[in-house]
Every structure is written in C-alpha cells, then in structure tokens.
Amino acid sequence: MSWRTLSLPVVLFLSACSESSDPDPTPRRPLKAVLFPYIPDSVGDNFASLEQRLETDFEKAHPEIDLDVVFDASLDVYDLDEGGTLNKLLGAEAGAAQVVEVDTLLLGSLAAKGWIQPVGPEAGVMHPAAEEAVRIDGQSYGVPTYLCTNVVYSRTTNIRSATDSASLVRILREAAPGKRPLATNLDGSWTLPSSYIDAWADTHPGDALAKAISLPLDSATVGAFEEVVDSCSLEAGVNPCLDGTYADNSVAEESFAAEQANGFMGYTERLFYILKANPSMPLPEVISVPLGTGSAPAVFVDALVLNASCTGTCAEDARAFTSFMQAPATRSLIAFSEDGPAGTRPRYLLQANRAFYQQEPARSDPMYPQYEAILSGARPYPNQHFPENRKALQAALLKDLQ
C-alpha cells in the first residue's frame, strides 16, 4: 500500500511518531580560543584554513565540544587597559574567550589583575626557558606554544664567526661594501626596549634579565648595541631602522631579499616574508644576533592562558584544548603550513615543545635544526614589569642612540 492511499489522520499520526522517536542530540559545549594573530598567513586566506583545520582536528577527539578558533589581527592582545581588549576577552561577558594566546611579557600583569588562572603544564615537555616564562612565584599561568628570538639572516657564511656586536657589524660591512649592512625594525615602545634587553643579556650572560628593565641604562650594553643600530644608517641623520621606515609590512625583509642589505635582523618567522619577496633565493645563513659585548640569546614566549571565569567543565574543556595545542603534531601543523596545499611555504615559527624538533618534518628540515641549536641555553624575557616600564626605556634609548 502506498503512503498516498492513507487517510490524513493516519499520515499525521505516523509523522508525529517519527519525530518523537528521534530525540534532539545533546548540545555541544562551546569553547572559544583566541590565538596569536601575528604569525605568517602562509595560505593567504586570513587564517581561515588554519582555523578550520584546528577546529576539525580537535573536535574529532572531543566531539562533545564546539570549538571556535579565532585569529583576528584587529584584536590588540597587548591591550591591558581596564575595559580594553584583554579585559573583555578574559572577562565573563558576551564575546569573552575561554583560552587566549598571549605574550608572556604580559603574564605578570594578567595574573595580578586576576584575569587568568593557574594551569599545570606537564614538566619537561617544553623548552626550559618556556617553562620559566610561564612561572610566577612558583605557580604556572600558561601553556607555552611559541618561542621568538632575534636572529640575523645573511648570505655570507662568515656570519657564523660573529661573537659580539662589533664583529657582527664588521662582517656585514665586509660582505658587500657600499650596501646597507643591516635591515631591521627597531621602532616602537615594545620593539626598541626589548632589543636593548636582548643586548643586555648578551653583555651580562650570568645575570637575571629582570635587572635590565630598570633605569638608568647600562652603558656597556648601550655602547655595544649602538654599533648595530648605527649599521642601519648609510647617511648621517637618516636611520630607517629607527625612524619607522621599516616598521610596517615587510620592507626590511624585502630590502634584504633584493640584496639591498647584507643582513636582516628579526624573528625566525620573518624568513617567510624574505622568501615570499624572493622565492628563488637560497636559504640564508642564520645565527643568534649578538647585540651586546657577547652572544647569549633571550627568547620571548607565547602561551595559552585560561580565563579566570572558566571553571568546572569549562576549565576541563579548556585544558583539553591546551593539551591538543601543545602536542608535536599540532605544532608541526602550524609550523609547516599543513593547513594549506602541498608545497605551501613553512611559517618558520619556533616551537616551545622540545619533541617537535626530534620528529619529522622538523628533524630533516634545513632550518629547524639550526634554530634548535640557537635556543640552547636561551633565557626568557621577564614576565613582570616590562609593560609599565617600556616607554621610559624607549625614551632613554632614543636619547642615547640619536
């Protein structure tokens, strides 16, 4: 008998039975994660592919969670003001996130404001500098993801013998006389003071970096650092590294890629933009940049922090996500642009998880073993007091350097 021959009441009865026998599925628990947007958009889709890949991979293992990953460069994740970006993201109102990726330069401020909660990352998994960077008074407040450190990229193998700022500048000048020895961006109240602290670490390898935040400036550090700063200038009174010429986009990287400068100083991931500007360029030499009287790398650390309002099941879900994010497979996905089609250029981001470097594809990559060697013995930037002292440091440095 066809359903068309049934009377209307019977059809309605059967329809009602059909609907009632298929109960609504249990709603998935929402989880929002705002991730650091200052990484190469290697696929060129405003991180849409990376967001989707992270959400899909995580939800395969945790189908009960509805993950929303956000990469948004319009969000100022350095804004510590009351009512500002981080206050809203780490608050309890609509639009808040449960997990936020931050620079640990801000960690002490976030903890002091009560916006984040302690977490317990597994000991021994991360680089020692990363573990130190998320610790405040013996308590960990973040799960490390990236490391960042200043390196020099150059075409000359002689760069390997640079041991201090003076030898670095000499080698870069000799590489191709008449060209700008170094292109870099030192403009800004975050960039210039942090570069000075890097130089301070090179000059005082046995001392705690927290001492570098206090004024007055260290004369030995400034003297050595000034040599590197001045190497960017080809004519008196004009220094594109300080005056903002190289501050936006990737002008300094493009200058190096076009062989207008003999070296480039910046984070490792800036190699992405160098190769984008000159895809046929051979991979350059790389060393930790000696900005002081010696060479002792300092590293920034980015970490995932948990909203203090996220408790109970929410906190369990958030920790499941941080565990997923620190896994070597996830770090490789991001570092090697596996969210894009085959052949997509790597992002060249340093990873905090030590196992990442021992596994493929990092282990056989031409750059990552060199990066790992640079990280040996690295110390983290202080996680307290930098935000409130950076502008005073910048003003003092500009006075001395100009």
pLDDT at 21 over 90: no
pLDDT band at 262 (very low <50, low <70, confident <90, very high): very high
Tens of pLDDT along 365-402?
Answer: 999 999 999 999 999 999 999 999 999 999 999 999 98
Give per-residue pLDDT as tens, 109-145. 999 999 999 997 778 899 999 999 999 999 999 999 9
Element holding 200 (H helix, E strand):
helix 191-203
Task: For residue 34, give the H/E element and its range.
Answer: strand 29-35
The pLDDT of residue 244 is 95
Residues 286-300: pLDDT tens digits? Answer: 999 999 999 999 999
Band the pLDDT of 23: cuts 50, 70, 90.
low
Return the pLDDT at 392.
98
In the numeric block, the tokens 């007055």 are attached to 216
Residue 208 CA to residue 206 CA, distance in Å, equals: 7
Name which of 346, 377, 376, 375 is nearest 362 in CA terms: 346
φ/ψ (deg, to 5) at 82: -60, 130
β-strand 150-154 against 116-117: which pairing, if any? Answer: unpaired
Higher-pLDDT residue of 150 and 122 is: 150
Mean pLDDT over all residues of the chain? 93
Q: Indicate whether 42 pLDDT > 60.
A: yes
Residue appearing with tokens 């350059």: 284
Helix axes 191-203, 386-401, angle to 10 degrees: 80
CB of 175 closer than 8 Å to CB of 263: yes
| 9 confidence band (pLDDT: 50, 70, 90) | very low
How far is 117 from 143, CA to CA, in rounded Å? 11
Please give the Cα distance from 239 to 232 (Å, whole number): 6
| Predicted confidence band of residue 7 (pLDDT cuts 50, 70, 90) | very low
- 225 vs 236: CA distance, rounded Å: 18
d(CA 147, CA 152): 16
Would strands 135-136 and 263-267 be described as parallel, antiparallel, or unpaired? Answer: unpaired
The SS3 assignment for 279 reads: coil
User: Whole-angstrom Cα distance, residue 328 to residue 334?
Assistant: 10
The structure's pTM equals 0.92
pLDDT interval class at 6 (50, 70, 90): very low
